[in-house]
């Protein structure tokens, strides 16, 4: 082990900060991670010895291990996540705010001595391809070997980051301690002006892997506004046609809307010769290239995916991605070192150890795997990974897609008239609440650009930044709204989804390349009859017609209900976005009178 005296860098800024944090947290040892295979093996053995990880059957699951988290610590905690900006207005009405001095004082007291008896791991990492001008360096200090091993999968970790950093002071300062894992003393604080993240009291991925949502979205969205680019909660997908033409799209879906499935989609058999490859499944950093197009990189190096519901039918590429060198958190496991979760390809075995470590019997009303149980898998395991995933320039984006989960109103696909209309579609997108989430079912929870929990500053200013980007992008991508979840009056899904979403994607790609026309409606452009390739589709024609229908009565209600969301955003809501709503509402009302 490196102790504090064996330091792999001479960067005075970094050394000074690590020393200061060690004085505060008082660990027994300080260990600098180098990201090597030998280190991964050693840290894994330590984690197994400390019962932090449980080995799975290494023949079935080579290099795979299991982790039980504390039962009180199984998800992101939005109510304990704070944006610490000089004023409350800077954080905006959709974020929790804490005054920076107060946050440093409050959390400083909790960190005092929090690492006594523990090892402090110094985890240097790069978000983005190692040599890309898009990339950012972060240093995460953590007292969790689980976090250090996860960061090794999710980011480019170790020596590569220190080499990139050199003697610079430009790095994200991330301090993380599980401390006593008490929800009463759990805070995830972001200091955008200081490029700093302090997280305490949680070992769970989204709260503890600071490169992911904390740096790559909350801090990066703030940096992106100041530096003139976009940090977005979007997958990046490569579509290669039978003639070898490659196009790329970025798509934002709130959770439970099929994002990873779309990023790893397998086209239907009738789309012979088409290949879909994954550049990224969760985060996209987009900048304007020299050619005036928007270019995107995926800052991550792994997948932190939700396990339940992932199976051979819904996502064969994800199942292949987790076959080796994967960490599983809070799924269920068998006595012989196998795993299982709800939505697996086979029925549950008669007995399991559930996510809490308790004995579980088939037929039990309790879930064996936690609904938010996870896998952390290296991106290179994905058989459909794009060869461009490490390209330092990124990939050129032809289309940006927004999609929520709506049982009515929003059609299968809608193309924005222009960039401003596209930003408006993203700003108003949302999903209906399910019975699990709230007492009221079917209420639309707005989740602008799928960034509601992840925008590191005021939402209205964020929309303004999107609008401002138009003047920076000479050749902007087309913008679309999709909805795979429209239902019939009987409550059945009208569109089969999964691989069949390729049919909609192809129309969007053809539109972006100027190969196909569209039907202009009051609310956006839709496919003309016959333009969606429905060959071999296992769904009645009338279902497709219902899925693509625009009902003006429903849209009048939708546009009226958006007023409440806009009121919540307050005075920073950009005028052009407010005017889009008013203009569309006028159009719809006039058209309904004519009828």
Q: Which of 441, 438, 454, 325 is nearest to 380 (CA)?
A: 325
106 marked among binding-site residues = no
Phi (first) and psi of residue 93, to 5 degrees: -75, -15
Angle at 510 between CA 506 and CA 513, to 5 degrees: 140
Q: What is the DSSP letter of 387?
A: G
Residue the block writes with tokens 């550049």: 279
Q: Which two tokens stand for residue 207?
A: 């709260």
498 marked among binding-site residues = yes
DSSP reduced 3-state for 575: helix
Q: Which of 64, 189, 214, 257 is catalytic?
A: 257
Q: Which of 364, 263, 366 is nearest to 317 (CA)?
A: 263
CB contact at 8 A, 265 and 276: yes
146 marked among binding-site residues = no
374 marked among binding-site residues = yes
282 marked among binding-site residues = yes
Q: Which two tokens stand for residue 1?
A: 């082990």
289 marked among binding-site residues = no
Angle at 255 between CA 484 and CA 228, to 5 degrees: 100
CB contact at 8 A, 118 and 27: yes
370 marked among binding-site residues = no
257 marked among binding-site residues = yes
204 marked among binding-site residues = yes
Number of H helices and number of E strands within the chain? 16, 31
What is the distance, to the nearest Å, from the Cα of residue 410 to the centroid of all Cα atoms in its chain? Answer: 23
255 marked among binding-site residues = yes
257 is catalytic: yes
Three-state secondary structure readout of 445-456: EECHHHCCCCCC
16 marked among binding-site residues = no
430 marked among binding-site residues = no
Residue 138 and residue 147: Cα distance in Å, rounded? 14
161 marked among binding-site residues = no
CB contact at 8 A, 401 and 250: yes
Q: Which of 484, 172, 132 is nearest to 279 (CA)?
A: 132
259 marked among binding-site residues = yes
Residue 7 burial by Cβ neighbours in a 10 Å radius (0-12, 13-18, 19+): middle
What is the distance, to the nearest Å, from the Cα of residue 5 to the centroid of all Cα atoms in its chain? Answer: 38
169 marked among binding-site residues = no
Distances from the Cα of 498 to the Cαs of 30, 259, 264, 381, 503, in angstroms?
47, 10, 10, 21, 10
CB contact at 8 A, 414 and 399: no
258 marked among binding-site residues = yes
76 marked among binding-site residues = yes
CB contact at 8 A, 381 and 324: yes
Residue 520 and residue 225: Cα distance in Å, rounded? 33
Q: What is the DSSP letter of 303?
A: E
Residue 83 and residue 580: Cα distance in Å, rounded? 29
233 marked among binding-site residues = yes
Q: Is the dihedral of CA 274, 280, 281, 283 positive or negative?
A: negative
Residue 144 and residue 115: Cα distance in Å, rounded? 10
568 marked among binding-site residues = no
Q: Which of 286, 167, 166 is nearest to 220 (CA)?
A: 286
166 marked among binding-site residues = no
Residue 206 and residue 306: Cα distance in Å, rounded? 12
Q: Which of 294, 303, 473 is nearest to 393 (CA)?
A: 294
Angle at 44 between CA 41 and CA 48, to 5 degrees: 140
Residue 547 and residue 541: Cα distance in Å, rounded? 10
Residue 29 and residue 172: Cα distance in Å, rounded? 22
Binding residues for substrate: 76, 204-206, 255, 372-374
Return binding residues for GTP.
256-261, 374, 405, 498-501
Residues making up the binding site for Mn(2+): 213, 233, 282
Which residues does the annotation place in the binding site? 76, 204-206, 213, 233, 255-261, 282, 372-374, 405, 498-501
Write out the catalytic residue numbers. 257
């Amino acid at each position: 082990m490196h102790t504090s005296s064996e330091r792999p860098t001479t960067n005075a800024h970094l050394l000074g900060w690590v020393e200061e944090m060690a004085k505060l947290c008082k660990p027994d040892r300080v260990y600098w991670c180098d990201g090597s295979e030998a280190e991964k093996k050693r840290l894994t053995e330590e984690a197994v010895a400390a019962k932090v990880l449980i080995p799975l059957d290494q023949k079935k699951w080579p290099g795979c291990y299991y982790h039980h988290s504390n039962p009180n610590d199984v998800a992101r905690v939005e109510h304990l996540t704070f944006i610490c900006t000089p004023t409350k207005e800077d954080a905006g009405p959709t974020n929790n705010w804490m005054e920076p001095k107060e946050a440093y004082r409050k959390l400083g007291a909790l960190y005092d001595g929090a690492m006594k008896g523990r090892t402090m791991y110094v985890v240097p990492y790069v978000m983005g391809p190692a040599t890309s001008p898009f990339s950012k360096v972060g240093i995460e200090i953590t007292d969790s070997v689980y976090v250090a091993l996860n960061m090794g999968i999710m980011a480019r970790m170790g020596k590569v980051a220190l080499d990139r950093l050199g003697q610079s002071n430009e790095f994200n300062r991330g301090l993380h301690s599980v401390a006593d894992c008490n929800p009463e003393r759990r805070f995830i604080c972001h200091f955008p002006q200081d490029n700093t993240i302090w997280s305490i009291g949680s070992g769970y991925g989204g709260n503890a892997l600071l490169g992911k949502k904390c740096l790559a979205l909350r801090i990066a969205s703030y940096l992106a506004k100041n530096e003139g680019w976009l940090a977005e909660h979007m997958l990046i997908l490569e579509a290669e046609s039978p003639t070898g033409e490659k196009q790329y799209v970025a798509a934002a879906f709130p959770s439970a809307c099929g994002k990873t499935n779309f990023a790893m989609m397998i086209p239907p058999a009738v789309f012979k010769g088409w290949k879909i490859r994954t550049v990224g499944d969760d985060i996209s950093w987009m900048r304007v290239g020299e050619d005036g197009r928007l270019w995107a990189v995926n800052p991550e190096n792994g997948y932190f995916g939700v396990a339940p519901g992932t199976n051979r039918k819904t996502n064969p590429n994800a199942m292949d991605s987790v076959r080796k060198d994967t960490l599983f958190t809070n799924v269920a496991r068998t006595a012989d070192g196998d795993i299982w979760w709800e939505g697996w390809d086979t029925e549950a075995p008669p007995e399991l150890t559930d996510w809490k470590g308790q004995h579980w019997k088939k037929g039990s009303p309790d879930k064996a795997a936690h609904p938010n149980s996870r896998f952390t898998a290296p991106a290179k395991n994905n058989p459909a990974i794009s060869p461009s995933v490490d390209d330092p320039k990124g990939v050129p984006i032809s289309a940006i897609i927004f999609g929520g989960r709506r049982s009515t109103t929003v059609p299968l696909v809608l193309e924005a008239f222009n960039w401003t209309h596209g930003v408006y579609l993203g700003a108003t997108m949302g999903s209906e609440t399910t019975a699990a989430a709230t007492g009221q079912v079917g209420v639309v929870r707005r989740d602008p650009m799928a960034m509601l929990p992840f925008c590191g500053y005021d939402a209205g200013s964020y929309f303004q930044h999107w609008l401002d980007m138009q003047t920076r992008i000479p050749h902007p991508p087309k913008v679309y709204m999709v909805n795979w979840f429209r239902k019939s009056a009987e409550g059945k899904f009208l569109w089969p989804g999964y691989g069949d979403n390729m049919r909609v994607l192809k129309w969007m790609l053809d539109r972006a390349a100027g190969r196909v026309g569209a039907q202009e409606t009051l609310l956006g452009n839709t496919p003309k009859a016959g333009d969606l390739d429905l060959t071999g589709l296992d769904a009645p024609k009338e279902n497709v017609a219902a899925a693509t229908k625009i009902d003006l009565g429903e849209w009048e209600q939708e546009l009226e209900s958006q007023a409440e969301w806009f009121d919540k955003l307050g005075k920073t809501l950009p005028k052009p976005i407010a005017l889009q709503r008013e203009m569309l509402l006028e159009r719809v009302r006039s058209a309904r009178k004519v009828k």
